[in-house]
A and B are shown apart, each in its own frame.
Chain A
Amino acid sequence: AQKITQTQPGMFVQEKEAVTLDCTYDTSDQSYGLFWYKQPSSGEMIFLIYQGSYDEQNATEGRYSLNFQKARKSANLVISASQLGDSAMYFCAMRGGLRTSGTYKYIFGTGTRLKVLA
């Protein structure tokens, strides 16, 4: 079965420090995509970064980078130089499921609430 696990319900980080948000996944698909989204208190979902299962390089988008370790089935999000505006809920997500169900599925983790301290 497809599954995304985020084991950190909440985290604190000091402003300007780096922080890593953990995400592990389970899939039997050979081809899949991994995403990270940010959900501020206002409620909207904001796309941050994408990693394809065949991508050899770790994805980076500005201060966001995805530490992709395929053998360990982990896709951790690293935020460098944290800012107060980074305080939000962060969701790891996966697109997969074609092999097992014949159609694509989108699965989200339960999220990690990040609080950046001044």
Chain B
Amino acid sequence: DSGVTQTPKHLITATGQRVTLRCSPRSGDLSVYWYQQSLDQGLQFLIQYYNGEERAKGNILERFSAQQFPDLHSELNLSSLELGDSALYFCASSVADNSRWGPTDTQYFGPGTRLTVL
């Protein structure tokens, strides 16, 4: 158990809908990262937040948005869902804010949320 929690574990929805995925980081970690893992795209970095602020951005679609709240939990919002958005969405957390290198930058992953868009 990495200490990172994600809810829900599974989510089934229809095209055009909007969903929210939730992540709670490990105790003491200030950074939260979101990833999408699909069969055709592999593991793709979406976005990172550090202590409530966006810190790095990857291949995140405009239909997707995220935020980190004062209690450090994070939510990933996916809207206007398409069939191709079906994937496993991981949240990870780490201590660092990218301004330091070293083992403290190691990311610990949650169990993931499996999203199925029908």
Contacts and interface: CB of A to CB of B under 8 A. Distances in A.
Interface of A: 31, 33, 35, 37, 43-47, 50, 52, 54, 91, 93, 95, 103-111
Contact of A46 (B45, B109, B114): B109
B109 A47 contact: yes
8 contacts: A35-B106, A43-B112, A44-B110, A47-B108, A50-B106, A54-B101, A103-B55, A111-B42
A46 B2 contact: yes
Interface of B: 2, 33, 35, 42-45, 48, 55-58, 88, 90, 92, 98, 101-103, 105-112, 114
B42 A47 contact: no
A10 to B, nearest CB: 15
Given A31-B101, A106-B33, A111-B42, A44 B112 contact: yes
Contacts of B102: 52
Contacts of A50: 103, 105-106
A111 B101 CA distance: 24
